């Protein structure tokens, strides 16, 4: 299982970016109301950077920035034993790359002063890293499991959260970034209104 101490199963940044876009597309299909979604993606977060995020509505969240340098993620699990408001454990940001300071660690909206875990991958180093030296109760295992790249994980999530039974082939279709059709979208959620849907999908994928 993926956690801050075991990152071998995380995809490399380019593939992870595609995965987080797929999660955002799926949530846009399942929840037309943005406030009720877990997963979002902003393809124009900052110059040369894109941002993925997760919020569960109960205080837990993570934010991830992608750039030519790689990717980095900061997260907060408020029920973990390492959570201490305003005082992250010393290892959380130990070794954190300076290139991600401005638009991730120092971004006020991300509440990084309350972070319980942080991971990063610099392209020049070729691997995911964190500041921990062994397993810790930082909540990362529960919040990062969705990033394992298996469509079955989202099918289970949708069943639990949206109380919807999605076909694995449909979720896999979105995971693979294959073209969306109104037929596919309506099959997943008959209540989708297409008046603004496609514009939102373009903002997630960075297309016109």
Q: What is the pLDDT of residues 22-35, one digit of tens each?
A: 999 999 999 989 99
Q: What percent of the chain has pLDDT over 70?
A: 100
Predicted local distance difference test score (pLDDT) of residue 205? 95
* Residue pLDDT, tens place only, 145-203: 999 999 999 999 999 999 999 999 999 999 999 999 999 999 999 999 998 899 999 99
Predicted local distance difference test score (pLDDT) of residue 195? 84
What is the rounded distance in angstroms from the CA atom of residue 119 to the CA atom of residue 132? 9
For the beta carbon of residue 151, count every other beta carbon within 10 angstroms: 20
Q: Chain centroid to CA 206: how far?
A: 16
Q: Is 206 helix (H, G, I), strand (E, B) or coil?
A: coil
Residue 1 has pLDDT above 90, yes or no: no
Neighbouring residues of 113: CB distance < 8 A, sequence distance ≥ 6? 85, 86, 87, 88
Quick one: tokens of 183? 């037929």
Q: What percent of the chain has pLDDT over 90?
A: 88
Domain ranges across the chain: 13-202
Predicted local distance difference test score (pLDDT) of residue 51? 97
- Quick one: angle between helices 168-175 and 151-161, nearest 10? 120
Size of the chain, expressed as the number of residues it contains: 208
Predicted local distance difference test score (pLDDT) of residue 103? 87
Q: Is 145 helix (H, G, I), strand (E, B) or coil?
A: helix
Quick one: tokens of 140? 């990362």
Q: Within the chain, what is the greatest distance between any pair of CA atoms?
A: 50
109 neighbors 76 (Cβ within 8 angstroms):
no
DSSP letter at 202?
H
Q: Is 26 helix (H, G, I), strand (E, B) or coil?
A: helix
Computed over every residue of the chain, the mean pLDDT equals 95
- Give the pLDDT band (50/70/90) at residue 134: confident
Tokens 């997963």 found at: 39
- Give the pLDDT band (50/70/90) at residue 207: confident
Closest CA to 96 of 76, 69, 77: 69
Helices (H) and strands (E) in the chain, counts: 6, 6
* Residue pLDDT, tens place only, 90-100: 999 999 999 99
First vs last C-alpha separation in the chain: 37
- Give the pLDDT band (50/70/90) at residue 18: very high
Burial of residue 57, with CB atoms counted within 10 A of its CB: 0-12 exposed, 13-18 middle, 19 or more buried:
exposed
């Amino acid at each position: 299982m993926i956690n801050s101490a075991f990152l071998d199963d995380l995809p490399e940044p380019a593939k992870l970016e595609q995965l987080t876009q797929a999660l955002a597309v799926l949530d846009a299909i399942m929840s037309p109301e943005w406030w009720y979604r877990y997963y979002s993606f902003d393809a124009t977060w900052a110059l040369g950077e894109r941002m993925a995020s997760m919020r569960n509505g109960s205080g837990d969240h993570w934010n991830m920035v992608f750039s030519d340098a790689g990717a980095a993620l900061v997260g907060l699990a408020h029920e973990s034993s390492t959570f201490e408001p305003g005082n992250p454990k010393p290892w959380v940001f130990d070794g954190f790359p300076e290139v991600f300071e401005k638009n991730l660690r120092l971004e006020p909206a991300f509440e990084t002063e309350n972070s319980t875990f942080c991971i990063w991958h610099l392209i020049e180093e070729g691997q995911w890293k964190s500041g921990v030296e062994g397993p810790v109760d930082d909540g990362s295992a529960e919040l990062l499991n969705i990033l394992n790249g298996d469509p079955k994980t989202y099918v289970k999530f949708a069943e639990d959260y949206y109380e919807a039974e999605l076909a694995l082939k449909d979720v896999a279709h979105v995971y693979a970034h294959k073209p969306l059709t109104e037929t596919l979208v309506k099959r997943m959620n008959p209540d989708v209104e297409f008046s603004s849907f496609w514009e939102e999908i373009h903002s997630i994928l960075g297309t016109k």
